[in-house]
Amino acid sequence: MSFKYQKYIEALFVHCPPSDYVAKERMAFRFVFGDTYHKNYKNNFLPVLIIKPTRKNGRRFKKDSSKCQGYALSFFDTLKNAKEKYAEIKKDNPNISEYIGTHIAEGIIEKEEGVVSKTDKKGHFSLHEFEETNLDKKFRVVSSLD
């Protein structure tokens, strides 16, 4: 099965997605913009390097393994972990809601929609979507941020 951003990840000099990513069903929480009137609403389910391709030349994406992550979507395993991460980011970036979202959405990722990483100790995991995946209609806003 092809990945949604196959042409970008094929250009990397690493195995992308990593071999420990697996297809599995799981609950997921993601930062989103809560209404269709927000100028960034269309970015709710786009990876950071698709939203802003020039970022791949920045400090955070120097290595191809980092760029691989830049073509994945970020999620959290619980609402609590998503809120804690948002609070942590906001300490150093007071205007972060303009970039990553104003709300948290909840949904279920199905096995047929892509492969996911292991969950880290802060509850974060990544998803590399398969080509036909469309998550925006499956997730619903469950919490406001701020």
In tens digits, the chain (146 residues) has pLDDT values of 799 999 999 999 999 999 999 999 999 999 999 865 556 688 899 999 999 888 777 777 888 999 999 999 999 999 999 999 999 999 999 999 988 999 999 999 999 999 999 999 999 999 999 999 999 889 999 999 97
CA distance linking residue 112 with residue 50, whole number of Å:
22
Sign of the torsion angle spanned by Cα atoms 35, 28, 31, 91:
positive
Largest separation between any pair of C-alpha atoms in the chain: 40
In this prediction the pTM is 0.92
Instruction: Classify burial at 135, counting beta carbons within 10 Å of its beta carbon; exposed 0-12, middle 13-18, buried 19 or more.
Output: buried
Instruction: Classify burial at 99, counting beta carbons within 10 Å of its beta carbon; exposed 0-12, middle 13-18, buried 19 or more.
Output: middle
Task: Report whether 21 contacts 128 (CB < 8 A).
Answer: yes
